[in-house]
């Protein structure tokens, strides 16, 4: 069933991924989408381009929320310093992808409204990939373990495929923030490099708080209409 513990406004649940090569292209997409989207993810590609922090400030000045998805992974002190510095830029969400000490460092360093999310298992990984990485447990067990450890470490939530969210909601605390990537508005739409995907309605029904959507909006013939359709699907899935 839909998650209600966090009282998130329905229109803030859609996070559009600005996976474009430069800040100017990101601003163009944001302007195209207009008021159809109020939350954006900035990832690794844009962090390598000029104007990364200027783009964050530009989004915040326009009342948009920002999710910085850089998956901090380094020695705990470095992770802590990165999270602390990011807190100064009025960002709402960020990610850490490390062991317990890294997650604890991130949890201690966050300030203000910033929430720290632990990455569980990337949606581009399947069972064979996890075998190659040495994880003997199944994906659901791995995600649940990571979620529980993230909360113990002081993180606010996790990034998790929608396929694992339902179990998280059964066994993890209600305050756990769950951000779900790998969202495809149509069930038979090509998944690209994502291997564990769901539709928006399926993910909301499973208990996801936020849905990250990239290519289905960005490459649509009419990105604004595509975003509005996803917003409508989210709203319908949230109805009692």
- Say which of 71, 115, 148, 195 is annotated catalytic: 71
Burial of 137 (0-12, 13-18, 19+ CB in 10 A): exposed
User: What is the 8-class DSSP label of residue 112?
Assistant: T
Can 7 be counted among the known catalytic residues? Answer: no
Q: Which residues are registered as beta bridge partners of 212?
A: 15
Separation of alpha carbons 9 and 231, rounded Å: 11
Cβ-contact 57, 86 below 8 angstroms: no
Nearest residue to 6 (alpha-carbon basis) of 166, 160, 142, 179: 179
Nearest residue to 67 (alpha-carbon basis) of 22, 30, 18: 18
Separation of alpha carbons 95 and 85, rounded Å: 14
Separation of alpha carbons 157 and 116, rounded Å: 7
Q: Which residues are catalytic?
A: 71
């Amino acid at each position: 069933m839909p998650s209600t513990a966090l009282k998130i406004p329905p229109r803030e649940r859609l996070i559009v991924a600005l996976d474009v090569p430069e800040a100017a292209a990101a601003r163009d997409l944001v302007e195209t989408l207009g008021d159809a989207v109020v939350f954006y993810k900035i990832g690794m590609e844009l962090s390598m381009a000029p104007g990364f922090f200027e783009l964050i400030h530009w989004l915040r000045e326009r009342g948009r929320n920002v999710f910085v998805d850089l998956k901090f992974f380094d020695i705990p002190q470095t992770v802590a310093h990165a999270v602390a510095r990011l807190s100064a830029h009025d960002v709402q969400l960020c990610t850490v992808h490390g062991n317990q000490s890294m997650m604890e460092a991130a949890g201690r360093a966050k300030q203000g409204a910033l929430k720290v999310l632990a990455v569980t298992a990337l949606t581009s990984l399947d069972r064979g990939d996890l075998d190659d990485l040495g994880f003997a447990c199944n994906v659901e067990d791995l995600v649940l373990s990571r979620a529980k450890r993230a909360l113990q470490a002081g993180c606010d939530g996790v990034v998790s495929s929608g396929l694992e969210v339902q179990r998280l909601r059964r066994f993890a605390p209600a305050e756990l923030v769950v951000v779900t990537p790998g969202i495809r508005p149509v069930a038979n739409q090509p998944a690209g490099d994502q291997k564990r995907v769901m539709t928006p309605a399926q993910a909301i029904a499973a208990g996801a708080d936020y849905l990250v959507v990239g290519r289905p909006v960005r490459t649509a013939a009419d990105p604004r209409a595509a975003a509005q359709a996803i917003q409508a699907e989210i709203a319908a899935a949230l109805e009692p």
